[in-house]
Structures are given as C-alpha cells and as structure tokens.
Structure 1
Amino acid sequence: MTKVLVLYYSSYGHIEQMADAVAEGARSAGAEVDIRRVPETAPQAVVEGAHFKTDTAHPLIEGPHVLANYDAIIVGTPTRFGRMASQMASFWDTAGGVWMSGALHGKVGGAFTSTATQHGGQETTLFSVITNLLHFGLTIVGLDYGHQAQMGVDEVLGGAPYGATTVAGGDGSRQPSAIDLAGARYQGKRIAETAAKLSA
C-alpha cells in the first residue's frame, strides 16, 4: 500500500483544515496516510499574543528521519511574506542527513498553502516549498486543471496549478471554502495515485 505523509504547520487552523482534506483525497486513492505537524518555533509570548491555535488532533513529526518511510510527502504551510513559514523551513533545515542519503529520490511531493489575500504570495510560497522538495529529489505533482472549480471568478477562491490554496482574510476569519477543500482533496488523490504508479 502507498504510504503518504501530510506534513504541515498551521498558526490559525486554515492549513490544518486543508491538511485533513489533502489526507482525505489521498485515502480515497487507497493510500495509507499519516498527518503530522512540525514543531512551533515562535516564542510562547508570541504564540499567546497572536492567539495561535494550539489545540490539534495531529501529533508532531518524530524527526526528519521518518520522511524516508513514505512514498509521497505533501507539505502545507501558511505564507510569511511570500515564502513558507519559518517553522516549516526550520524543520527542513534539520533534514540534511536525509538529503545526503538520497532517501527521498524518486518519491512524490506536493505543496499547499494559505494567505491573507488573493495576492498575498500564494504562488511564491508554493514555490518555496517545491524548491526544497526538488532539492531532496522528489517528483512534484501540483493542482492540475482537472480541478476546474479553481478557475471560477464569481467568488474569492484559492487554487493554483502549483498546489491547493485558500485565502484566510486579513484577520483570519475566512475559512477554507468548499472549493478550496475540494482542491486539496483532488491534489491529495492525484499525488497518491502518482506515487502508486511510480512504486508499482
């Protein structure tokens, strides 16, 4: 059975919701899926002052060494000024041994993100994740236009060919829409299907 890791960081719960949807999609393709989060690196005073969401059903990842156990790795992070959050970057910065071993060569990867606004850096954030994954040797699967709902213009939408996205609003009050979550499920399914084909 194909094994998929959904690895995420979420400050306010938007990416956590997207991670659950990505996992649903991967499971619908027959994959065994683990959802893990990376550690919080912000000082406790910042976490409390910014009212980060600290309750979650998902455990922390045990360390970068477990990445090698998966056929596909799907990474979710909010944007921080047009790039991945430092919490996610810090995790990958500790994975030099995995990179050196080549343990992820030929595996499948993908990215998903959230931003405050439609033009708040969704695509550059996705590329900051994708760049890392390419360095580790992963084959990237984005959100292709088989998910046609991302092409609508009648409402605020996430979605890019590079990965599933959502728009949180400047105060974080907008939650992922049905279309955003459908995109996440679609990408998760496509990644699981691709990983199954490559490992067959």
Structure 2
Amino acid sequence: MKTLVLFYSTYGHVWKLAEAVAEGARQVAGNEVLVKRVPETLPKELLDQIGATGAQQAFAHVPVATPDELKEYDAIILGTPTRYGNMCGQIQAYLDSTGGLWATGALVGKVGGGFVSTATQHGGQETTLRAVHTALLHHGMVIVGLPYAWQGQMGHEEVTGGTPYGASTVAGGQGERQPSENELEGARFQGKFTAEVARKQAAK
C-alpha cells in the first residue's frame, strides 16, 4: 500500500503538519509513505518580499509530485494554507492539472483527505477543508477526516486547531506560532486513520 502526503507551505507550518501526518501513516504496517510538495507558482521576487524564501529552504529538499503519479497511491492527503477561506493558489493550480486523471477515473475509490493552516482560529479552516473535500469527491475519492475519536479537538484549555474535517494549526498573524504538540498529534491520528481506511478499501 502507498500513501502520499502532498502539501504546499509558505512558511513551514503546513510542512510540519505534513511530517506529522506521514508519521502517523507510517504506523500502519506495510504502508509506504511519501511526502511531496506541489510546484511553487509565485515568482521569487514576491516570495522574497513576503519573507517566505528563507522559510521554504527548510523543505526545499522535498520532491515535487507530478499530477500523473497520483494514480500510484492508495491514499492521498492534501495540506494547504488557507487563502480567504479556500485552498491556496498553488494547490488549486495543481488540482486543476489533474483533468486527465478525472477523465479516466484514475482516482475513483482511492482514499483522501486534507489538513490546513490558518492565521487565526476562525480564519477558514473548515471551509478550506471542505473545498479540498469537494475536489477529491469530484475524483470519486473516499473522504476521511479527523473523527472525534481523537479527543484532542474536544478541549478548550489552550488555543488549538483540529476539526472533524481534518487536522489543522493556527499560525498567527505573522506566522509566529508553530504547530503545538496537540495539533501535531491530531495530524498523526489523521494519517494513521486514513491509512487504515485505505487498507480496508484496497482489500475490497
């Protein structure tokens, strides 16, 4: 079985969640897990201007996934920052390039889900994840979220991400906040749970 954790990250928050999702997916025996990123679409000048160039060096070694390779995986989990309550342009552009896979039904029956980062607690985490789900549903994929079996999203003692639609983190207005251990644990839970569902789906 193969799982792809595919992400775009501006300042590294989504990348850290991606690593945690992959860590959880690797807990399922016999599951080959790959972490890859989508191509950057912003010019370097703009990345320099918003202070993202240096942050992105931390995960520059992560390979870029081609759209055609998606058909090789049993599970695909997408990570994106929120842009006005929706996916970032980089993820959207990548999904827009998967028309050939849609036309042939290459992803029908595969398992998928999403995880996200927003600047604030109410910055569109759930709407962004629903947008991810919509794209995956158009491909005929089976959607897996972050069920309330993970009790970390039930607490209110600290600021935290985590929704039934998928794992999430709150980055802060200047990107100053890193994913908490609770948020990372939610990502691990989602990764493992998604891989378990994918295994059952593949066995049908």
Report the TM-score, using the length of structure 1 for normalisation.
Answer: 0.98
| Secondary structure in 1 matching 2:182 | helix
Q: Which runs of 5+ in 2 are unaligned?
A: none
- SS of residue in 2 equivalent to 1:105: coil
Name 1:13's counterpart in structure 2. Answer: 12
Would you say how many aligned residue pairs link Structure 1 and Structure 2? 198
Q: Is the 8 A contact 2:9 2:80 kept in 1?
A: yes
Equivalent position SS for 1:128: helix
Where in structure 1 do 4 or more consecutive aligned residues deviate above 3 Å? Answer: none
Q: Determine the C-alpha separation between the residues in 2 that align with 1:151 and 1:170.
A: 24
Q: Report the alpha carbon displacement of residue 150 of structure 1 after superposing the two structures with TM.
A: 1.0
Q: Deviations over 1:35-65 (max 9, x none)?
A: 110011012111110111221131111x111
Stretches of structure 1 that go unaligned for 5 or more consecutive residues are none
Between the aligned partners of 1:59 and 1:81, the Cα distance in structure 2 is 27
Deviation for aligned residue 1:3? 0.4
What is the alpha-carbon distance in structure 1 between the residues aligned to residue 139 and residue 4 of structure 2? Answer: 15
Match of 2:43 in 1: 43
Give the drift of 1:149: 1.1
Alignment of 1:125-140 (within 5 A): 125-140=128-143
Does the 8 Å CA contact 2:23/2:191 hold for their aligned counterparts? yes
Query: Percent of aligned pairs with the same residue?
Result: 57
* SS of match in other structure, 1:142: coil
Matched, 1:54 2:87: no
Contact 2:9–2:56, Cα closer than 8 Å, also in 1? no
3-state SS in 1 of match to 2:197: helix
Where 1:42 maps in the other structure, the secondary structure is: coil
The CA distance in 2 between the partners of 1:51 and 1:87, in whole Å, is 17
Letter in 1 for 2:27: S
Which amino acid is 1:115 matched to? T
Match of 1:191 among 189, 194, 199: 194
Equivalent position amino acid for 1:69 in 2: E
What RMSD over aligned residues (CA atoms) do the two structures have, in Å? 0.7
Counterpart of 1:171 in structure 2 is 174
CA distance in 2, matches of 1:54, 1:111: 21
Q: Does 1:96 align with 2:95?
A: no
For normalisation by structure 2, the TM-score amounts to: 0.96
C-alpha offsets along residues 97-127 of structure 1, whole Å, 9 cap, x if unaligned? 0110101000000100000000000000101
